[in-house]
Structure 1
Amino acid sequence: MRVLIVTLLALALVGCTGRPSLEGEKLSDRQLNLEEFFAGESVAHGQFQDRFGNVSRRFTVDIVGTWDGRLLTLVEDFVYEDGSTEQRVWSLTKTGPDSWVGTAPGVIGQAVGQENGDTFNWKYTIDLPLPDASAPPGTPPETLRVTFDDWMWLLTEDRLLNRAYMQKFGVTIGEVIISFEKR
């Protein structure tokens, strides 16, 4: 019984980690508009760290964005520190003055997002490919289904900071930190 109580308390504490809020105090009067920031070329640098703080993957992403007045298409070309590559193509539809929905290969259902001032929150579930150096060439990668709670802040007109919380079965398994810069 004591083990059960300790386990429940530990899970409750894990669930109490602070998260940003769209209603939180704004530190600037900038207005983030995804279609403006991501139209054209940008580059991002990021890393994944597990819930214990261990950094296990770093990457660079070259992004080309096109905006047609309703649809924002982002072509993201990832290059990981180990030399592996990946491409993800997002199709984001503006559904209101500050709201978005989106899809990309591997995304389960639709991603949903909301802008507020200099902040954007993006939530989705995705099957992420897992790196496996021992897999024979041409073998489809194994995937890990995770949920993202993605937060972005416009730091300057050409810089965006992103912190994404990754969860599996409702438990945070890690975070991704990314810095975007318009070219």
Structure 2
Amino acid sequence: MISRRVLVAGLAIAGLAVLTACSAKPRVPKTFLSDRQLNLEEFFEGKTVAYGQFQDVLGNVPRRFTVDIDGTWDGETLTLVEDFAYDDGATEQRIWTLTKTGEDTWTGTAPGVLGTASGVERGDTFNWTYKIDLPVKEGTMRVNFDDWMWLLEDDRLLNRAYVSRYDVRLGEVILFFEKK
């Protein structure tokens, strides 16, 4: 006979699987919503600020933050110094080193990123994927990011990142970038 605890756990896992399956992620578009062309090296060169939050799969928002970004482009490498300030008073700095590997392709590294991140620009859209040991209150948590960015205007960028662990979606990071 199946215990009540095993039954409840099984139903919870099945429910989470249904929630995850019902929320489709974007795809690199064949047609575009605008005639804008996103060029990361142009958008992120100089000062940018981002406002964001993490939302879990149940709709809870456990954390909000701002990010001050200082970007430099030397013709091959885009370096992004990101200074995070969380609503709970915590701070963090992440420094990305991105390399343009083709007309529309990028690779990148940052402390905590496992291996190399990779991304593709298409029109006004950029998709970026990587695995990172993300700092959390208890230490770090290894997660996967499937990051999507859309150029809304020349100085505004919307970012929606799908966060997962062991192929189970944990939630989303939603960011709004604005050039200074």
Residues 128 and 6 (structure 1), Cα distance of their counterparts in 2 relative to 1, 3 Å cut: closer
Q: Counterpart of 2:62 in 1: which secondary structure?
A: strand
Query: 1:8, CA displacement in angstroms?
Result: 6.0
Q: Deviations over 1:91-133 (max 9, x none)?
A: 000000000000000000000000000000000000001125x
* d(CA) in 1 for partners of 2:57, 2:101: 34
Residue of 9, 13, 32 corresponding to 2:38 = 32
Residues 64 and 6 (structure 1), Cα distance of their counterparts in 2 relative to 1, 3 Å cut: closer
**Residue number in structure 1 paired with 2:71:** 65
Q: Is the 8 A contact 2:99 2:107 kept in 1?
A: yes
Q: Is the 8 A contact 2:19 2:57 kept in 1?
A: no
Q: Is the 8 A contact 1:162 1:177 kept in 2?
A: yes
2:108 partner letter: G
Residues 24 and 18 (structure 1), Cα distance of their counterparts in 2 relative to 1, 3 Å cut: farther
Query: 1:17, CA displacement in angstroms?
Result: 2.2
* d(CA) in 2 for partners of 1:53, 1:21: 23
Query: 1:83, CA displacement in angstroms?
Result: 1.0
* d(CA) in 2 for partners of 1:125, 1:131: 19
1:90-129 superposed matches below 5 A = 90-129=96-135
Runs of 4+ in 1 over 6 A off after TM superposition: 3-6
Q: Is the 8 A contact 1:15 1:171 kept in 2?
A: no
Root mean square deviation of aligned Cα: 1.9
TM-score norm. by structure 1 comes to 0.88
Q: What number of residue pairs does the alignment pair up?
A: 173
Q: Percent identity?
A: 62
Q: Counterpart of 1:61 in 2: which secondary structure?
A: strand
Q: Counterpart of 1:55 in 2: which secondary structure?
A: coil
Query: 1:26, CA displacement in angstroms?
Result: 1.4
1:121 partner letter: N
1:20 partner letter: P
* d(CA) in 2 for partners of 1:9, 1:48: 21
* d(CA) in 1 for partners of 2:24, 2:77: 33
Q: Say whether 1:78 aligns with 2:84.
A: yes
**Residue number in structure 2 paired with 1:135:** none
Residue of 54, 57, 60 corresponding to 1:54 = 60
TM-score norm. by structure 2 comes to 0.90
